[in-house]
Structure 1
Amino acid sequence: MKAIKTLLFCFTAASIISCDNDNDPTNNVCDTGYVSTLITNAFSTANGYDDMETMDLETHEYTIQINADGEICSVGYQNPSTYTGGYTMTITNTTSNTSYSGVHTFSQTTLDYQSITPVLVNNGDIINVKRTILPGYTLLNQTIGRLLRPSNYNDVPYPITQGNVVFLSSNFYGTGGPIPDFAQPYIALGFKVN
């Protein structure tokens, strides 16, 4: 009888601890690879894109549609080899008019993820993502960033669907521009699916 009570207690405790609306334990964490994997796959060399550091304008941004419920929980970026300073990173849900904005400095050697105050997303919401170099940079080449550019030098043929994300547009501006759809900025987002 003691073994049955212990088993029932463990089963009840396990049910309460793992309570989730879809019984998928993998969605209880911030998936830092969520958008970076989609960017890498959609804008791959095999699909006709080159990975490069270029575009010497202060703001690099793109707009996506996320077709899942959840929250954007981190931002990932890699400073270019020419700049060690910070950026204002802004993530705006233009559908619900909610946003995150904060100053971040990233690694120059690897894609570096940093936690943010979550931005809630409902299936189909439009999200604008941008990085703007902080005032005080001294050389124009410090404003460049990592991006994926079509090998044929045409504009990116948005919209591009990859998984649950539709890449809608990109833009580059500040000390020049705007230059729409020149390339896909490599600004990653961590996403926690509900």
Structure 2
Amino acid sequence: MKTIKILLFCIAAIAIVSCDNDNDPTNNVCDTSYVSTPITNAFSLANAYDDNVTMDLETHEYTLQINANGEICSVGYQNPNTYTGGYTMEITNTTTNVTYTGTHTFSQTVLDYQSITPLIVNTGDIINVKRTILPGYTMLNQTIGHVLRKSDYTDVPYPITQGNVVFLSSNFYGTGGPVPNFAQPYIALGFKVN
């Protein structure tokens, strides 16, 4: 009988902890399309952007504003076919000065999402997203990455708003650069709306 009570208590505790308080089942998951869809739509061929794997600098970064309350819960990237190693992925809420930093290796064939320690975001917070190749790479072409660049080779005319996301700037540097606003890095974020 005591074992049954303990088991029932554990089940009740798990049920309480796993529920949120707004009864909205659509926000209980890490939405991997929250930033990738706006990147794909805003920087599309229809908007005069080309999808490239280029820019042979160690760090690819961009800044965006998320106009929703929630948390960044994953990071998505795709290694180029020239590199199987890892990256330091850094996501900073510059409004609150809170940073996630982790080492990740991604698939070479698909956009690969990996969970991160959640980073809290309030409407209007400015987020910096950075990918830096790990030391020890052996060829410059290993530093390239997936970017979306203007078809006429002009700088990206930031800011660009797509839904609840405003893309503010980009930068590329390390073994050269900086090269601001050359292209939009395709580094996606998973987001869970509160």
TM-score, normalization by structure 1: 0.90
Q: Which moved more, 1:23-32 or 1:41-50?
A: 23-32
> How many percent identity over aligned positions?
82
Q: How does 1:155-174 map to 2 (within 5 A)?
A: 155-174=155-174
3-state SS of the aligned residue for 2:39?
Answer: helix
Looking at structure 2, the residues matched to 38 and 46 of structure 1 have their Cα atoms a distance apart, in angstroms, of 14
Q: Answer yes or no: is 1:119 the counterpart of 2:119.
A: yes
Distance 2:126 2:139 in 1: 34
Structure 2: any 5+ residue segments left out of the alignment? 1-15
2:138 aligned with 1:138? yes
* Number of equivalences: 178
1:33 is displaced (CA, Å) by 1.1
| 8 Å contact from structure 1 (residues 172, 180) kept in 2 | yes
- Partner deviation per Cα, 1:165-188 (whole Å, 9 max, x = no partner): 100000000000000000000000
Matches within 5 A, 1:68-147: 68-147=68-147
TM-score norm. by structure 2 comes to: 0.90
Match of 1:179 in 2: 179
Hey, what's the Cα distance between the residues in 2 that align with 1:100 and 1:153?
A: 32
Corresponding position of 2:9 = none
Cα 1:74/1:18, change in 2 over 3 Å: closer
**Do the aligned partners of residues 120 and 19 (structure 1) sit closer, same or farther apart at CA in structure 2, a change above 3 Å counting?**
closer
> Counterpart of 1:63?
63
Structure 1 consecutive aligned stretches of length 4 or more whose deviation exceeds 3 Å? 16-20
Q: Report how far residue 18 of structure 1 moved.
A: 6.2
AA partner of residue 123 (structure 1): T
Cα 1:175/1:18, change in 2 over 3 Å:
closer
